[in-house]
Amino acid sequence: MSGFWQTHRIVMAAIGAVIVMLCAIYLRWDWLPKYLPLIGQGIWQTLWLLVVTTFFGFLLAIPLGLAQAAGPWYLAAPAKAFCTVIRGTPLLLQLWLLYYGLGSLFPQFPAIRQSELWPYLRQAWPYAVFALTISFAGYEGEVMRGAFKGVPGGQLEAAKAMGMPRLTILRRIWLPLAIQRALPTLGGETVLQLKATPLVATITVVDIYAVASRVRQDTFIVYEPLLLLAVVYMIVTGLIVLAFRWLENRVPSRVA
């Protein structure tokens, strides 16, 4: 690490530390203890949303990518249309369409209102999870399409020559190789997904962003909650980057 601590970096780090100290001393942080439990719940909600929607979004992205890379036209065309629509419209609009648009249609049907699902449809988080999941699937589906296409044909031909059934080829050869190719971009996509999560605050889901807004509105303090938010998101981003670096090192780069 000796290369990192050059003279100018030490000076910059010192300036940075002074700025942080000044922020700590001169800005108002007296609200922090009162809101600490809420902040904890908010961070938990954000992380939970991130993990669940990334996981299910990725699961959805695999068939979306496969359909576009190798499917017949009647599967490839809808998959492509889905990815284009998701990637071509703002997530905020998709979220509002689902929550306010679709959500306002449901209660008009007494059957839905009386059904077992109603207690869930009544809440905001199912809409948030759904919107974030299909959004991730749309972006990652495009990545997976490239990844499936990028797997060297020789590998698949070799498997075929060995008499492997098609599904086994997909499970044992094609999919692992495609995921391995997609892995470097997956970290970046996950960070983008994290950055998309605060939008759910606009449909009454109480994530960390909503908690910070609540602090701003309760106390009329403008910058401090936003600074806290920025720090929280930077830490989570750092953790995501580290986690994916660890994952990439675990996956052998040659599966020959």
Partner 1 sequence: MLETLLEAFPTLALLAWEPPGWGANLVRGLGNSIQIALGAYALGLVIGTAGAFGKLHGGPVTRDLLAVYTTVVRAVPELVLILILYFAVTDLVNQGLVAMGYARVQISGVVAGIAVLGVVQGAYSIEVIRGAILAVPTGQLEAARAMGMPPLKAAWRITLPLMLSNAIPGLANLWLIATKDTALLAIVGFAELTLQTRQAASSTKAFMTFFLAAGVLYLLVTLISGVAFGRIEKWARRGQRDGGAGS
Partner 2 sequence: MKNILLTTLAALALGTAAMAEPVKVGIAAEPYPPFASPDAAGNWIGWEVDLIGAVCAAAELDCVITPVAWDGIIPSLTSGQIDAIMASMSITADRMQTIDFSDKYYNTPTVIVAAKGSGITPTAEGLAGKILGVQVSTVHQDYAQTHFAGAEIKLYQTQDEANQDLVAGRIDATQADSIALDDFLKSDTGACCENVGAVADDQAILGLGVGVGVRKGDDALKAKFNAGIAKIIADGTYDKVSAPYFASSIYGG
Cα 117 from Cα 119, distance rounded (Å)? 6
Among partner 1, partner 2, none, the one that 54 touches (CB under a kind-dependent 5 to 8 A) is none
Taking CB under 8 A as the criterion, the residue among 158, 204, 238, 245 binding partner 2 is 204
Taking CB under 8 A as the criterion, the residue among 220, 249, 250, 256 binding partner 2 is 220
Contacts 24+ apart (CB under 8 A), 214-222: 214/35, 214/38, 215/31, 215/35, 218/31, 219/31, 221/28, 221/31
Taking CB under 8 A as the criterion, the residue among 10, 162, 184, 218 binding partner 2 is 218
Cα 94 from Cα 15, distance rounded (Å)? 43
Stretch that binds partner 2, among 45-53, 131-139, 148-156, 213-221 (CB under 8 A): 213-221
Amino acid at 193: Q
Tokens of 31: 């609200």
Query: Measured from the CB atom, is 143 or 170 closer to partner 1?
Result: 143
Angle at 99 between CA 233 and CA 114, to 5 degrees: 130
Taking CB under 8 A as the criterion, the residue among 195, 204, 218, 242 binding partner 1 is 195
| DSSP symbol at 107 | G
Contacts of 81 (CB under 8 A, 6+ apart): none
- Decide: is 126 part of the binding site for partner 2 (CB under 8 A): no
Stretch that binds partner 2, among 26-34, 98-106, 159-167, 234-242 (CB under 8 A): 98-106
Least distance in Å: CB of 68 to partner 1? 16
Stretch that binds partner 1, among 20-28, 67-75, 87-95, 179-187 (CB under 8 A): 87-95
- Decide: is 93 part of the binding site for partner 1 (CB under 8 A): yes
Tokens of 143: 């990545």
Residue 144: how many CA atoms within 13 Å on its side-chain side? 26
- What number of other Cβ atoms are within 10 A of residue 225's Cβ? 24
Taking CB under 8 A as the criterion, the residue among 100, 242, 243, 247 binding partner 1 is 100
Q: Could you tell me the CA-to-CA distances from 238 to 18, 26, 42, 62, 245 in Å, in that order? A: 22, 27, 18, 26, 11
Query: Measured from the CB atom, is 168 or 204 closer to partner 2?
Result: 204
* 120 burial type by CB count under 10 A (0-12 exposed, 13-18 middle, 19+ buried): exposed
Given the structure tokens 């994952």, which residue do they identify?
247
Stretch that binds partner 2, among 46-54, 105-113, 133-141, 183-191 (CB under 8 A): 105-113
Binding residues for partner 1, per CB under 8 A? 6, 8-9, 12, 84-85, 87-94, 96-97, 100-102, 104-105, 191, 194-199, 202, 209, 222-223, 226-227, 229-230, 233-234, 237-238
Task: Write out the residues near partner 2 by the rule CB under 8 A.
Answer: 100, 103-104, 106-107, 113, 122-124, 202, 204, 213-214, 216-218, 220, 222
